[in-house]
Amino acid sequence: MSSQTNPPVKKKGGIPWYVYFFGSAAYTALGGWLAAESSLLSILCIISAPIGFFFAYRAWKQDRQDAS
How sure is the predictor about 15, in pLDDT bands with cuts at 50, 70 and 90?
A: confident
Q: What is the pLDDT of residue 22?
A: 93
For 22-58, write each residue's pLDDT tens digit. 999 999 999 999 888 888 888 888 888 899 899 999 9
The structure's pTM equals 0.69
| Residues of the domain holding 30 | 17-67
Return the closest-CA partner of residue 51 out of 12, 23, 13.
23
Q: State the total domains in the chain.
A: 1
Does any domain span residue 48?
A: yes
Does any domain span residue 8?
A: no
Does any domain span residue 21?
A: yes
Q: What is the pLDDT of residue 53?
A: 92
**12 compared with 19, residue with greater pLDDT:** 19
Query: How far apart (Å, rounded) are the C-alpha atoms in residues 10 and 24?
Result: 28
Does any domain span residue 5?
A: no
